[in-house]
């Protein structure tokens, strides 16, 4: 069964938000999912690029003008 963890990174600057996501992903068990909220703009771009570089499976959802939510699946 998939379990969800939540990380609110709105107003957290780069690269601190990327580091916090990496640390949270290391703590996830197999098949757990991490929901991340972050600001649009530089934070969104940096985080999405880093997730792609790390080979993470993720999906953007619940977007608005100020922030987005990303669901990241841990397959380890």
Structural domain boundaries enclosing 51: 4-73
pLDDT interval class at 62 (50, 70, 90): confident
What are the pLDDT digits (tens) for 5-58? 999 999 999 999 999 999 999 999 888 899 999 999 999 999 999 999 999 999
- CATH number, domain with residue 68: 3.30.110.40
What are the pLDDT digits (tens) for 22-33? 999 999 988 889
Q: How many domains does the chain have?
A: 1
Q: Residue 29: CB partners within 8 Å, gap ≥ 6?
A: 3, 74
Tell me, what DSSP letter sits at residue 61?
E
- For the full predicted model, state whether its pTM sits above 0.85: yes
Query: Percent helix, strand, coil in the chain (nearest 5)?
Result: 35, 30, 35
């Amino acid at each position: 069964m998939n379990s969800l963890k939540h990380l609110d990174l709105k107003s957290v600057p780069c690269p601190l938000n990327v580091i916090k996501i990496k640390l949270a992903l290391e703590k996830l068990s197999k098949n757990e999912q991490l929901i991340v909220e972050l600001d649009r703009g530089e934070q969104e771009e940096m985080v999405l690029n880093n997730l792609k570089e790390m080979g993470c499976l993720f999906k953007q959802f619940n977007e608005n003008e100020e922030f987005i939510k990303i669901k990241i699946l841990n397959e380890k």
